Amino acid sequence: MSLKETLSLSLPQLGWRPVYQQQLSWDELETTIPARISGHHRSGYICWTENGEIHLDIHAKLPSMTVGDWILLERETHQFIKLLDRQSLFSRKAAGIKSYEQLIASNVDTVFIVSSLNHDFNLSRIERYLALAKEAQVEPVIVLTKADLCDDVDDKKQQVQALNPMLNVECINALSSESCQSLKPWCKIGKTIAFMGSSGVGKSTVVNTLMGSETQQTSGIREQDSKGRHTTTSRSLLSMPSGALLLDTPGMREIQISDCEQGIEEVFADVANLANKCRFSDCKHISEPGCAVLKAIESEELDERRLRNYRKLLAEQARNSESIAERRSKEKDFHKHVKSVMKEIQSREKGY
Ligand X SMILES: Nc1nc2c(ncn2[C@@H]2O[C@H](COP(=O)(O)OP(=O)(O)OP(=O)(O)O)[C@@H](O)[C@H]2O)c(=O)[nH]1
Binding site feature residues for GTP? 145-148, 197-205
Scored b (16 or more CB within 10 A) or e, 41-53 reads eeebbbbbbbeeb
Contact 335, 327 (CB under 8 A): no
Which residues, other chains included, contact 217 with Cβ-Cβ below 8 Å and sequence gap of 6+?
A: none
Helix axes 269-276, 304-349, angle to 10 degrees: 110
Give the count of residues interacting with Zn ion (CB under 5 A): 5
**285 interacts with, out of ligand X, Zn ion, none, CB within 5 to 8 A per kind:** Zn ion
Q: Is 278 in the site for Zn ion (CB under 5 A)?
A: yes
Binding-site string for Zn ion from residue 290 to residue 309, where x marks contact by CB under 5 A and - marks none = -x-x----------------
**283 interacts with, out of ligand X, Zn ion, none, CB within 5 to 8 A per kind:** Zn ion
Alpha-carbon gap, residue 47 to 2, rounded angstroms:
11
Tell me which residue has its CB nearest to ligand X: 202
Per-residue DSSP letters for 108-157?
--EEEEEEESSTT--HHHHHHHHHHHHHHT-EEEEEEE-GGG-S-HHHHH
Alpha-carbon gap, residue 169 to 189, rounded angstroms:
22
Pick out residues in 196-215 that bind ligand X (CB under 6 A). Answer: 197, 199-205
Name which of 221, 240, 245 is nearest 52 in CA terms: 221
Q: Is 96 in the site for ligand X (CB under 6 A)?
A: no
HSE value, Cβ hemisphere, 13 Å, CA-based, for 148:
9
Binding site residue list for Zn(2+)? 278, 283, 285, 291
Alpha-carbon gap, residue 144 to 63, rounded angstroms:
38
Give me the least distance between CB of 170 and ligand X, in Å please: 12
**93 interacts with, out of Zn ion, ligand X, none, CB within 5 to 8 A per kind:** none
Residue 8: helix, strand or coil by DSSP?
coil
Q: Is 257 in the site for Zn ion (CB under 5 A)?
A: no
**183 interacts with, out of Zn ion, ligand X, none, CB within 5 to 8 A per kind:** none
**128 interacts with, out of ligand X, Zn ion, none, CB within 5 to 8 A per kind:** none
Give the count of residues interacting with ligand X (CB under 6 A): 16
Candidate residues 35, 56, 84, 283; the one interacting with Zn ion per rule CB under 5 A: 283
**291 interacts with, out of ligand X, Zn ion, none, CB within 5 to 8 A per kind:** Zn ion
The one-letter amino acid at 333: D
- ∠ CA 243-249-255 to the nearest 5 degrees? 120
Pick out residues in 239-258 that bind ligand X (CB under 6 A). Answer: 253
Q: Is 115 in the site for ligand X (CB under 6 A)?
A: no
Q: Is 148 in the site for ligand X (CB under 6 A)?
A: yes
Return residues touching ligand X (CB under 6 A): 145-146, 148-149, 173-175, 197, 199-205, 253
Return residues touching Zn ion (CB under 5 A): 278, 283, 285, 291, 293
